[in-house]
Amino acid sequence: MLRTITTTPIEGQRPGTSGLRKKVATFQKPSYTENFLQSLFDVVQPDSGATLIIGGDGRFYNRTVIQQAIRLASANGYGRALIGRGGLLSTPAASHLIRKHGASGGLIFSASHNPGGPNGDFGIKYNTANGGPAPEAVTEAVYKRSLEIDRWLTLEAPDVDLDALGTSQVGGMTVEVIDPVTDYADLMEQLFDFAAIQKAVAEGFTMSFDAMSAVTGPYAIEILENRLGFAKGTVRNGTPLEDFGGHHPDPNLVHADELYRLMMSSNAPDFGAASDGDGDRNLIIGRHRFVTPSDSLAMLAANAHLAPAYKDGLKGIARSMPTSAAADRVAEALGIPCYETPTGWKFFGTLLDAGLVTICGEESAGTGSDHVREKDGLWAVLLWLNILAKRRISVDQLARDHWAECGRNYYARHDYEGIESAAADALMAELMGGLSALPGRSLGVLTVEAADSFSYSDPVDGSVTPNQGVRVIFEGGSRVVFRLSGTGTAGATLRVYLERYEPAEGRLDEETSTMLIELIEAAEAIAGIERHTGRSSPDVTT
Ligand code: G1P
Ligand code: ZN
């Protein structure tokens, strides 16, 4: 039976670059989740009978929200919902299902790499019919709607059994619980040379994959162990847990330190990789060689033609502004365009839809291609495997060869987390106010060549997105970027991105920390980080 529930608006339901992300307790407030979902359905107005994809990364509260979403979706006229068994769907797998089934959109319940559990974070992300994150026009409209909402629609129906494959009826909507892995694994098998990887494995190639007790476990076990023949146990932490075992499911050197230590040890397998909570990020480490995400993008782009899906070459490359310029050099060598976009995957979507680029990446461990409209952790792992299997080369040697040809972009990101919003805003305002005085200024050995606040004009739809971070470029191609995070759930996070370019004939075999000392000092001199925030060093360096 359909029911209309009277409600009142709840402040602060503004989705960020990756959906609405808050503490679990916030989503547990009466009407909070329903208000947001109803605001969304009011904005997207599904055609009656439309298909909706539903899944999440398995974190705490996922199952509760999925049951709410099923009832609201049915009451709002959807005709069919496809749901991953156990309520699981990785973000890239959801993107693929939306496209494959011609769905009008999809709901992905995840807070990505943020911690989970009753005291952790939860999130709701809506992807549109192209499979990509909802554009700003949609998220803003949802926010506006959430400020005036006065009712939500639901119906009385028992919970759907999320653990049994099969079809059931909820009001006028058919609910299909599907295997979350098969379609995605089949897609990967189409894109990559599985035979070449299987051969390398049979000849002794080894790897370790850390699923971080998050959603990629079942995907990695099926693809790496069952289909490619890697030994059982290659996938570690392969069972999704509601609290990710108490860890941050964030594939960086801090949170995946066990994998990192293994890869630097004498027992290291040939290849190591990890993925995040919802499966869209990746960490790539060869034996004794960590590859920065920015370098990974460049190296994948340079070698992508070795995979069947990209054998005819790339149309173009896109990288987010703070991502290093390593990919730009590859694009130049290949004679294809390289686009610089604001942080966040949705800006890649229009370029991919228009066929302008094939591969995209961000410094924050997101890499992907036109096969879906999200970044894709396992895709990056498989493209690396495909390249290594075809070239019969180690990660370390591939990286060295790459730098010897293109030069090396030493790179690090410094995060200052949980700082007071007012202090963060004051820092950015002062920085913006002083931009015009920066060019020509000498800071130790560095001289500022240019400084600006990054504004993006979308080449496809002409939209302009201003104030996407401050860029300070030094003579010789080194750079510091300052921006505030759009995904934090407590206070503000200042991100400082440091990049030093060494040409092919320069110093290619140094420690990153040594090479960035002058840039770190310059960043402090330019922004007064300690003066504004009281912090003399970052909380996290990646
Ligand atoms: C962070 C990353 C960004 C990524 C986003 C969503 O956003 O820096 O590259 O697209 O998470 O995964 P930020 O917190 O910096 O706004
Ligand atoms: Zn993620």
Domain boundaries, given as residue ranges, for the chain: 2-180, 184-406, 408-541
Structure tokens at 475: 């003579």
Does the CB atom of residue 447 touch ligand 1 within 6 A? no
Beta-strand relationship, 317-320 and 359-362? parallel
pLDDT per position in the chain (542 positions), as tens? 899 999 999 877 888 777 899 999 999 999 999 999 999 999 999 999 999 999 999 999 999 999 999 999 999 999 999 999 999 999 999 999 999 999 999 999 999 999 999 999 999 999 999 999 998 889 999 999 999 999 999 999 999 999 999 999 999 999 999 999 999 999 999 999 999 999 999 999 999 999 999 999 999 999 999 999 999 999 999 999 999 999 999 999 889 999 999 999 999 999 999 999 999 999 999 999 999 999 999 999 999 999 999 999 999 999 999 999 999 999 999 999 999 999 988 899 999 999 999 999 999 999 999 999 999 999 999 999 999 999 999 999 999 999 999 999 999 999 999 999 999 999 999 999 999 999 999 999 999 999 999 999 999 999 999 999 999 999 999 999 999 998 776 789 999 999 999 999 999 999 999 999 999 999 999 999 999 999 999 998 99
Q: Whose CA is nearest to atom 15 of ligand 1?
A: 485
Q: What are the CA-CA distances from residue 260 to residues 94, 209, 367 (Å)?
A: 29, 11, 20
Q: Whose CA is nearest to atom 5 of ligand 1?
A: 344
Q: The domain 408-541 is classified under which CATH number: 1.20.1250.20, 3.30.310.50, 3.40.50.720, 3.30.360.10?
A: 3.30.310.50
Same fold, 184-406 and 408-541: no
pTM to 2 decimal places: 0.96
Using an 8 Å Cβ cutoff, are 109 and 62 in contact?
Answer: yes
Using an 8 Å Cβ cutoff, are 454 and 428 in contact?
Answer: no
Does the CB atom of residue 18 touch ligand 1 within 6 A? yes
**Backbone φ, ψ for residue 448 (5° rounding):** -70, 130
Q: What would the pLDDT profile of 287-340 be if each residue is shown by its tens digit?
A: 999 999 999 999 999 999 999 999 999 999 999 999 999 999 999 999 999 999
Beta-strand relationship, 338-341 and 166-170? unpaired
The verdict on whether 112 is a catalytic residue reads: yes
The bound ligand whose nearest atom lies closest to the alpha carbon of 344 is 1
Closest CA relative to residue 53, chosen from 228, 175, 148: 175
Q: How far apart are CA 481 and CA 276, in angstroms?
A: 25
Does the CB atom of residue 114 touch ligand 1 within 6 A? no
Using an 8 Å Cβ cutoff, are 298 and 398 in contact?
Answer: no
> Residue 87, SS3?
strand
Question: What is the whole-number distance in angstroms between the Cα of residue 244 and the centre of ligand 2?
Answer: 14
Question: What is the whole-number distance in angstroms between the Cα of residue 389 and the centre of ligand 1?
Answer: 31
The DSSP line for 463-487 is -EE----EEEEETTS-EEEEEE-SS
Question: What is the whole-number distance in angstroms between the Cα of residue 201 and the centre of ligand 2?
Answer: 28
Q: What are the CA-CA distances from residue 505 to residues 9, 292, 424, 501 (Å)?
A: 61, 21, 39, 11
**Backbone φ, ψ for residue 400 (5° rounding):** -60, -45
Q: How far apart are CA 374 and CA 381, in angstroms?
A: 15
The kind and range of the H/E element at 155 are strand 151-155
Question: What is the whole-number distance in angstroms between the Cα of residue 157 and the centre of ligand 2?
Answer: 32
- Length of the chain, please? 542
Angle at 322 between CA 493 and CA 128, to 5 degrees: 85
Angle at 370 between CA 177 and CA 228, to 5 degrees: 65
The bound ligand whose nearest atom lies closest to the alpha carbon of 486 is 1
Does the CB atom of residue 152 touch ligand 1 within 6 A? no
**Does domain 2-180 fall into CATH 3.40.50.300?**
no
Using an 8 Å Cβ cutoff, are 367 and 297 in contact?
Answer: yes
Question: What is the whole-number distance in angstroms between the Cα of residue 448 and the centre of ligand 2?
Answer: 35
* HEC string for 311-371: CCCCCCEEEECCCCCHHHHHHHHHCCCEEEECCCCHHHHHHHHCCCCCEEEECCCEEEECC
Structure tokens at 127: 């992807």
- What's the CATH fold of domain 184-406? Alpha-D-Glucose-1,6-Bisphosphate; Chain A, domain 3 (3.40.120)
Does the CB atom of residue 542 touch ligand 1 within 6 A? no
Q: What atom in ligand 1 is closest to the CA of residue 345?
A: 10
Q: What are the CA-CA distances from residue 210 to residues 122, 142, 170, 214, 235 (Å)?
A: 22, 36, 37, 9, 6
Q: How far apart are CA 527 and CA 520, in angstroms?
A: 11
> Residue 10, SS3?
coil
Beta-strand relationship, 282-286 and 289-291? antiparallel
Q: What are the CA-CA distances from residue 201 to residues 91, 182, 444 (Å)?
A: 28, 22, 50
Query: Residue 18's pLDDT is what?
Result: 78
Does the CB atom of residue 345 touch ligand 1 within 6 A? yes
Q: Tell me, what amino acid is at 206?
A: T
Q: How many CB atoms are located within 10 Å of the residue 333 CB?
A: 12
Q: What atom in ligand 1 is closest to the CA of residue 320?
A: 9
CA atoms within 13 A on the CB side of 102: 4
Using an 8 Å Cβ cutoff, are 384 and 223 in contact?
Answer: no
CB under 5 Å of ion ligand 2: residues: 112, 276, 278, 280-281
Q: How far apart are CA 391 and CA 393, in angstroms?
A: 5
Question: What is the whole-number distance in angstroms between the Cα of residue 346 and the centre of ligand 1?
Answer: 11
Q: What atom in ligand 1 is closest to the CA of residue 363?
A: 9
Does the CB atom of residue 478 touch ligand 1 within 6 A? no
